Amino acid sequence: MTAIPSQDPRPLSKRQNDPEFIDMLDATSQLYTEAKRLQYGTTVVLTLVALVGSGYIIWSKTTEGWTMLVTLLALLGSYAVRDRALASQEEAARIQEQFDTELLGLAWNEILCEKLDASKIKQKAVKYQRRTGESRDRRVNWYANYDELTPELQALACQRENTRWDTDLRRLWTRSITWLMIVVLIGLLIMAYATNPHIQDLITGPALLLTPLFILGLDLLRDNRVTQAHLSQTNSHLGLAEDRAKRPNHDQVELAHSIRQIQDRIYLNRCSNPQIPDCFYRIHKRLTGRE
């Protein structure tokens, strides 16, 4: 592989449980949690603005000029918060990239991103441990045991783990967002029309207040569909690379280049994919019994 060979003779299944790797996983979880809180905290605020504002308009049977101002401020605020959430997500993706490249012996792609400072990783790891109080043993054996495989197949197997569960979960999440938007829209418009059946009042009142929420929802739907397509392509590349790795006398340089390209795709997906709430993941896990 075109990589920096590990000087540690221990197998991957043992090395992944070293304290520095556990710290990377904890720091990653902390940063993803911060990104999710910003992203879905914004969603909650926009939902409350739409519900409270629409309820007031329906109850008072009047529309005021403040609806335009509130809508504009909500839109500007949601995009400002989204930028900050993406920054936290990008830092988490960089730490995951360090985890994978150092553990799997992959060459670091300096063009793709820079490594995060070790002190920042430790700071976020400590913050996660203090916040959750979880035992560090919860992070051991992050990847399954692939010690019987060649280094190339080990790397590909771990990369496959990173993409395996995400596709089904995102498909269900996309459907849930779609139905939630439809139900909220129909419910509010029915109530508004029943109390004040003037189209102008609907447009300048509840419909206007719902605009930021639905723009956010449409952005999430679009980004999830892009992510699903990206994951599907990555899984196809993984299948081709796995077939190549199993052939006798395969070109190791070409295979290593393919593994590095797959890792690039995984990193870019981690940077941009919309975060799924932890509660939704736990529900999905209980319903399917899958990690």
pLDDT the model gives residue 195: 62
Give the whole-angstrom CA distance, residue 123 versus residue 100.
20
Structure confidence by residue, pLDDT tens digits, 100-142 = 999 999 999 999 999 999 999 999 999 999 998 888 788 889 9
* Residue 175 within a domain: yes
* Residue 5 within a domain: no
- The answer to whether the beta carbons of residues 239 and 73 sit under 8 Å apart is no
Give the single-character DSSP code of 139: G
* Residue 192 within a domain: yes
Start-to-end Cα distance in the chain: 30
pLDDT the model gives residue 208: 66
Q: Please report which residue ranges of 196-277 form alpha helices under DSSP H.
A: 199-204, 206-246, 252-272
Structure confidence by residue, pLDDT tens digits, 218-270 = 888 888 888 888 888 999 999 999 999 999 888 989 999 999 999 999 999 99
- Domain, as residue range, for 167: 12-288
Q: Is the pLDDT of residue 21 over 50?
A: yes
Structure confidence by residue, pLDDT tens digits, 162-215 = 887 677 777 788 888 888 878 877 776 676 666 655 655 555 566 666 777 777
Instruction: Check residues 57 and 115 and name the one with the higher pLDDT.
Output: 115
* Residue 107 within a domain: yes
* Residue 179 within a domain: yes
Instruction: Please state the domain count of the chain.
Output: 1
* Residue 71 within a domain: yes
pLDDT the model gives residue 3: 47
By mean pLDDT, which of 52-66, 95-109, 155-169 is the weakest? 52-66
* Residue 7 within a domain: no
* Residue 6 within a domain: no
Tokens of 130: 């203090």
Give the whole-angstrom CA distance, residue 90 versus residue 86.
6
Give the whole-angstrom CA distance, residue 45 versus residue 216.
12
